[in-house]
Each structure stands twice: as structure tokens, then as C-alpha cells.
Structure 1
Amino acid sequence: MPTATIDYRDGDTVCEAYVSHDGKGGKRPAVLVAHQWGGQGPNERAAADRLAALGYVGFAVDVYGKGRRGEPGGDNGYLMAPFMADRAALRARLLAAVEAARSHEAVDPEKIAIIGYCFGGLCALDLARANAPALRGAVSIHGIFPPPNLGPQADIDASVLILHGWEDPLAKPDEVLGVAKELTDAKADWQLHAYGHAMHAFTAPTANAPEKGLAYDPKAAARSWASIEAFLAEVLA
């Protein structure tokens, strides 16, 4: 599959996307992949390749900017914190990624979706909250749910899928109920799949810190990917 990195801009900040597709020609839907708190890395690029094998353009986005990456397994809160504190800036950065994907020669600009892991799950929800252009669907995978508090929430047009480990200490039951109410109030078409006994980062094979609430769960990982495939086939048809 052809892969490439491409630069795009949010104002003065240069970001670097990883793009993967099957190279068969023509235009097809794009699925953005939003990264966890360490920045775009091998897991996100592998997800983009996996999406390309399904016939989409996999577009791994770069929230932090070209060359800004954290340490695998390290505390990367310093990278994420500025965007958690300024959700308007996060929204602008994500919308820049959408426009970069829509302008790619292999992409059907009217068929866009996003999946996101951990911090990227919040990014996926924030694009849905923003009613990003041509966004058909958003998937939060062991994500976090704080609302952006950027004024009244407009009705959400995109379909939303939340894939959640019930034992995730970063998204406790009251927060899950909160995002469910938020999406209901915004008249979104939403689904919530909760996996019993699964913790945060349940799709990451290297996650092995159950004392911190982080652990790989192969059953939840397989079930969640099957749900992603079915969801994307529906919303991007």
C-alpha cells in the first residue's frame, strides 16, 4: 500500500500526517486517526494501514506539530495539557487536519470519519461537537469525555460510537453517563459499547500497568475493531 507523510498547517504550526491507501486510483472515504497523549506513533500509523486495507484512506493526524512527540510509556501530560486547557485551539488544530485530508487527491471530500485513542478519543468527540465539514462518524476508543465548554452545543450531525473499558479509571461511570446525556441533548445518533473488566488502553498490546488502570485486553480489542469496521461501513457507505 502506498504510504507517505505530508505536511499541513494550522496557522503558523506545521503538522505532519501519515497517509496510507491502497493505490488503486479514484477517490474514497478518509478515516482520520487521532493519537494518544504521546503523539502520532507506530500504533496510529498501523491503524491507518489497517484502514487502508479496508479500502479507506487512513490519515493519521498530528495534533502537537511536526517533530513534537512524547516518550512511549512516559508521562506525556506536558504535551496534552495545553490543548486540554484551550479546547478552542484543539478544535482549530483538528479542523486543519480535516481540511488537509479533504484536499488529498485520493479522498472523497464528502466522506470523512475519525477514530481516536485515549486523548485521540477526546479529539474524535470534539470534531463531532464541532460539526466538522463532511464528518460522517466519530469513534472514541478508551477516550476521555470532558466537554469543551465553548458555548452552547449545536445539534451534532455525525454519528458517534464510544468504545469504553468499564474499569477505565480515566473515564468513570458518572463521566460516561455525562457524555451520554450530552450526546442525547445534542440529538446525536450515538452508541456506547462498554467492555466489562477492560481498563484504559485496552487496545494497546504494550499496556501492562493494571495497578494504574492500564492493561491490554485482547478480547475487548478484537470486539472493538469489529465494531469500528461495522460502524465505518455504515456511516461511509
Structure 2
Amino acid sequence: MSAVEYQVDGKTYEGWFVMPEGKTNVPVVAIAHAWGGLTDNEKQKAGIVAKEFGYAAFAMDVYGKGKRGTTVEECQALMNPLAGDRAELQKRLAGGLAAAKAQAGVDASKAAAIGFCFGGLSVLDMARAGHDVIGVASFHGLLGAAPNIAEPKIKAKVLIEHGWLDPMAPPEDVLAIAKEFHGADWQLHAHGHAYHSFTTQGANNKEMGTIYDADADRRSFAYLKTFLAELFA
């Protein structure tokens, strides 16, 4: 496992790469981070993908090397400009995906993407934008449509792991994305007791509705393992 610097439009970004031990020419899973930037949470998920699932994992960075948030205000300041400029977000995600595919030992023809919270929105945008991935999986992601892609043609398979009590993605947003993705190969699992950030260990902000849920975390990753096995078969 190692940090990896890469460039998008002349700007330096820093990802995190993990290879499964003793393997080569393996599929790669790109990981999109939550609003605070690439943190230990994404690195932990990358470890699961590599060590337990047997795929290469590359945690992407859409903020830039060293740009990370630790407070609500800092995270909002990092996320909001990209949430408001989805074309720029999609370009940075494309750069991260390219870096993931360029790593040694990766089978670049077999790539998927997963993301958490803001990263969940990010991977849905990768599907909307037609990035070269077989499938994407969003965990407690924001679901809002991308204004720059009025009628997305979704080719990737889509998995959405959703906390039904998530205040940032209410039921009307779920119905809206079902309509938007009509015709695509999508599936959605709603976890009835779960809030936002249910896979983020340590999350416990009841006021914001960001609460870790061990059962939903475990169950959603079991669904992910099956989803990835199908994609990479």
C-alpha cells in the first residue's frame, strides 16, 4: 500500500493504492472519498477491497494533495465548489480513474468505482458521464442529478446502498434517481435503521444525521462483494 501522486490539468492530487498480496493482473476498484477528502476511512475500505475481495483498490482524490477537511466548515468549503460544478468534479474523477488504471498489476479493462457520501454522488456521476467503468456502487450517497447531463445514458451497472433515514437523501430523491436511471441496470438496497454515513466508523452526529451502523456497514459490503464478483466474472 502506498500514496500515489498524479496530475489532472497540471494540479497534483494524491491517491492511495493497495494491491492484494501475491496477485497481479487483477481488476481495480476506484474509491471516491467523502466530503472531508481522502481519509483513513477510505483507506480502510481500500484494505477490505484488496485483502478480503482480492482486487486492487485506488482511493482517488478530487481536492488536491494535502487538501483535507476536519471541521464541518472546512469540509463544506472543500465540497461545495465541486458540488456546484459537476463538470469539473467529473473531470477530476476521470483523472483519478486513469491513475487507478495506470498502476502496476492492474487489469485496466476491468474497473469499477465505489464511493461514500459525497463520493457516492461522485461515482453516480461517473456513471452519468459515461466513464469507462463496468459498474459503480454508492454508499449513503447524495443522489441529486447532474445539471450538466440532462439525459444521462447509463451503461455501467449501478448499486446504491442507502440509509432510509438519511436526511440528506430523502425518499423523494430515491424516487427521482429511479426515474432518472430508468432503463439502466440498477439496484438499490435501503437499510431501514440507517442514517447518513452508516459505513463511516466513528460517525455519531445525531444532529446532522451522520451515524455509523455496524449492521448496515457489514450488510452493504456483503452486497458489494457479490456485485463486484458479478462485474469481474
- Is TM (by shorter chain) over 0.5? yes
Q: Do 2:129 and 2:149's aligned partners in 1 also have CA atoms closer than 8 Å? A: no
SS at match of 1:76: helix
In structure 2, distance between residues paired with 1:22 and 1:164: 28
Q: Which runs of 5+ in 2 are unaligned?
A: none
Partner residue in 1 for 2:5: 7
In structure 2, distance between residues paired with 1:202 and 1:75: 21
Partner residue in 1 for 2:142: 144
SS at match of 1:51: helix
Task: Kindly state the Cα deviation for residue 85 of structure 1 after the two structures are TM-superposed.
Answer: 1.1
SS at match of 1:212: coil
Give a deviation string over 1:4-27, Cα, whole Å, max 9, x none.
111111102111110001242431
Partner residue in 2 for 1:199: 195
Matches within 5 A, 1:134-213: 135-184=133-182, 187-213=183-209
Partner residue in 2 for 1:233: 229
Q: Do 2:41 and 2:201's aligned partners in 1 also have CA atoms closer than 8 Å? A: no
The aligned amino acid for 1:22 is P
In structure 2, distance between residues paired with 1:236 and 1:123: 21
Q: Do 2:113 and 2:123's aligned partners in 1 also have CA atoms closer than 8 Å? A: yes
In structure 2, distance between residues paired with 1:151 and 1:211: 33
Alpha-carbon spacing, 1:25–1:166, altered in 2? closer, same or farther (3 Å):
closer
Task: Kindly state the Cα deviation for residue 162 of structure 1 after the two structures are TM-superposed.
Answer: 0.4
Partner residue in 1 for 2:64: 65
How many residues matched? 232
Matches within 5 A, 1:80-159: 80-133=79-132, 135-159=133-157
Report whether the alignment pairs 1:217 with 2:210. Answer: no
Aligned Cα RMSD in Å? 1.3
In structure 2, distance between residues paired with 1:157 and 1:151: 14
Task: Kindly state the Cα deviation for residue 46 of structure 1 after the two structures are TM-superposed.
Answer: 0.9
Partner residue in 1 for 2:45: 47
Q: Percent of aligned positions with the same letter in both sequences?
A: 44
TM-score (norm 1): 0.94
SS at match of 2:122: helix
Give a deviation string over 1:157-183, Cα, whole Å, max 9, x none.
110000000000000000111011111
SS at match of 2:181: helix
In structure 1, distance between residues paired with 2:71 and 2:21: 31
Give a deviation string over 1:170-213, Cα, whole Å, max 9, x none.
000001110111111xx210001001021111112211122321
Partner residue in 1 for 2:75: 76
Moved more, 17-26 or 98-107: 17-26
Which 4+ runs in 1 deviate beyond 3 A? 72-75
The aligned amino acid for 1:14 is T
In structure 2, distance between residues paired with 1:23 and 1:172: 40
